[in-house]
C-alpha cells in the first residue's frame, strides 16, 4: 500500500502513541520514510528507541520547544503531532508556564515547520478540551458499579451515546485542555491562511501495551501494573466509590483510524473528529478493579479518598457517530482485551518495566 507522502515526521515519536504510530506506518506503507522526534523527558520512553530503530524508523533526540531542532530535520511532507504534556493536573499547583510552553508553543513550532515544508498535519488533541463545569453538569444515574449517562440531556452535543463534537466549549477546562484547544485553533488559522492540509482527532483515554502509566495519566496501565507488582491503589473523588467512568480506546484502534484518514485526502480541511472507545468500551474504576483481579489472579488493597480534584469529571464517554459516518471507523477492541494485552506486556517485561511502573 502506498501514500502520496514520502517522509512522515512523528513528534513525540518515542512516546506511547507516537511510537505505535511509527511502527504501524512502517509496516503499512511500503517505502515511507518515518522519523520519530522525542525529547525523552517522560520516563520509559527511552525503552521504545530500540524497537523503533529495529523496524527502520529514524530516531532523533530533539525538542519541539526548540525550533532549531525541527529546522535541522530533513524535509518532510507529513507531520503527526503526538507530543504533549498529557496530564490534566499539569500546572494546577505552581506555574502553568511549563505545560503552556510544551503544548502550545511547541505546537506552534510544529506548525511553522510544517508550513515551511509544505506538509500536511494530523494533530492528536484530547477530550479534555470540553469544559469541566459542563461535563459535571451532565445528567447521570448511579448504578451498582458505575455512573451512567441518561438519554435526555440539557446541553447540545450530548446523549446516552456520549459527547459529540458539538458539545459546548465555553468555560474552564484545565491548563492542559486549554493548550490543546488553543493548538486546535492555531491549526485552523493555518488552514485558513495558508491552505494547510490538516486534521484534528480529539481522543479519549488511550490505552494498550507500551504505555508508561502513572497516577495522573495512563490509568488502565496504572491499574494493571499495581496488580502485577502487588501495590495498593486508591479511588479518588466523587465519594471515593470508584464509580467514575471513562471510555477506553485501544492504541491500535487509533492507529486503524489514522491509516483510514491518511487514505482519505478529501477530509484534510481542518475538520475535527471525536475518537474514543465509546459507550461499548467503557469502564468505571470499580469495574476495572474487578477485571484486573479476574485477569491477573491478584488482589490489591484499594483505599478511598472522597475529595474530588478541581479538574476531575465523573463521566466521559465519546460519541463516535461523526467519524463512523464519514470514515466507517469503529473501535473494535473491548476493555478486557485491552487490559489483557497490557497485563501480558507487563508480565513479559516485568524486570525491565519495574523501575518505571512499580513506583
- At 108 the pLDDT is 98
pTM: 0.97
| Class (C level, CATH) for 1-130+173-203 | alpha beta
Question: Which regions of the chain carry the CATH code 3.90.25.10?
Answer: 139-155+208-249+277-359
Q: What is the mean pLDDT of residues 227-239?
A: 97
Q: Three-state SS for 125?
A: strand
Q: What percent of the chain has pLDDT over 70?
A: 100
* pLDDT tens digits for range 23-36: 999 999 999 999 99
Rg (CA), the chain: 20
Q: Which of 51, 83, 316, 9 shows the shortest CA–CA distance to 209?
A: 51
The CATH code of the domain at 139-155+208-249+277-359 is 3.90.25.10
* pLDDT tens digits for range 262-304: 999 999 999 999 999 999 999 999 999 999 999 999 999 999 9
The grid cell for 17 is 502513541
Question: Which regions of the chain carry the CATH code 3.40.50.720?
Answer: 1-130+173-203
Residue 39: C-alpha distances to residues 6, 66, 88, 101, 276 (Å)? 24, 10, 20, 14, 27
Mean pLDDT of the chain: 96
- At 3 the pLDDT is 87
Q: Three-state SS for 261?
A: helix
Give the span between the Cα atoms of 33 and 55, in whole angstroms. 11
* pLDDT tens digits for range 46-59: 999 999 999 999 99
Q: What is the mean pLDDT of residues 106-124?
A: 98
Confidence of residue 214 (pLDDT cuts 50, 70, 90): confident
In the chain, where does DSSP find H-type helix? Answer: 16-28, 49-54, 67-71, 97-100, 106-117, 132-136, 175-194, 219-229, 251-262, 285-296, 321-327, 335-348, 350-357
- At 185 the pLDDT is 98
- At 1 the pLDDT is 65
Lowest mean pLDDT among 85-89, 105-109, 191-195, 328-332: 85-89
Strand partners, 58: 35
* pLDDT tens digits for range 295-319: 999 999 999 999 999 999 999 999 9
Give the largest Cα separation in the chain, rounded: 56
Amino acid at each position: 500500500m502506498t501514500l502520496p507522502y514520502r517522509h512522515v515526521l512523528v513528534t513525540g515519536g518515542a512516546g506511547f502513541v507516537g511510537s505505535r504510530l511509527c511502527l504501524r506506518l512502517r509496516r503499512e506503507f511500503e517505502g515511507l520514510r518515518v522519523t520519530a522526534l522525542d525529547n525523552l523527558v517522560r520516563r520509559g520512553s527511552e525503552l521504545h528507541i530500540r524497537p523503533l530503530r529495529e523496524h527502520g524508523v529514524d530516531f532523533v533526540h530533539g525538542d519541539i520547544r526548540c525550533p532549531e531542532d525541527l529546522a535541522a530535520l530533513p524535509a518532510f511532507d507529513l507531520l503527526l503531532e503526538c507530543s504533549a504534556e498529557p496530564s490534566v493536573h499539569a500546572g494546577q499547583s505552581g506555574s502553568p508556564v511549563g505545560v503552556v510552553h510544551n503544548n502550545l508553543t511547541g505546537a506552534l513550532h510544529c506548525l511553522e515547520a510544517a508550513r515551511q515544508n509544505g506538509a500536511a498535519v494530523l494533530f492528536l488533541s484530547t477530550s479534555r478540551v470540553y469544559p469541566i463545569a459542563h461535563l459535571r453538569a451532565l445528567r447521570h444515574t448511579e448504578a451498582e458499579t458505575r455512573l451512567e449517562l441518561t438519554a435526555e440531556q440539557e446541553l447540545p452535543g450530548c446523549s446516552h451515546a456520549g459527547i459529540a463534537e458539538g458539545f459546548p466549549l465555553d468555560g474552564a477546562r484545565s491548563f492542559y485542555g486549554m493548550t490543546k484547544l488553543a493548538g486546535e485553533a492555531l491549526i485552523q488559522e493555518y488552514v485558513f491562511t495558508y491552505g494547510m492540509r490538516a486534521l484534528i482527532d480529539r481522543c479519549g483515554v488511550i490505552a494498550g501495551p507500551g504505555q508508561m502509566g502513572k497516577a495522573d495519566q495512563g490509568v488502565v496501565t496504572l491499574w494493571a501494573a499495581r496488580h502485577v507488582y502487588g501495590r495498593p491503589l486508591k479511588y479518588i473523588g466523587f465519594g471515593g466509590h470508584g464509580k467514575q467512568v471513562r471510555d477506553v480506546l485501544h492504541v491500535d484502534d487509533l492507529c486503524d483510524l489514522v491509516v483510514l484518514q491518511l487514505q482519505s485526502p478529501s477530509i484534510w480541511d481542518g475538520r475535527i473528529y471525536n475518537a474514543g472507545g465509546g459507550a461499548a468500551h467503557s469502564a468505571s474504576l470499580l469495574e476495572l478493579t474487578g477485571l484486573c483481579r479476574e485477569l491477573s489472579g491478584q488482589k490489591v488493597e484499594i483505599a478511598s479518598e472522597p475529595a474530588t480534584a478541581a479538574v476531575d469529571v465523573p463521566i466521559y464517554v465519546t460519541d463516535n457517530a461523526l467519524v463512523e459516518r464519514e470514515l466507517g471507523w469503529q473501535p473494535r477492541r473491548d476493555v478486557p482485551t485491552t487490559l489483557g494485552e497490557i497485563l501480558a506486556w507487563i508480565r513479559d517485561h516485568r524486570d525491565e518495566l519495574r523501575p518505571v511502573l512499580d513506583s
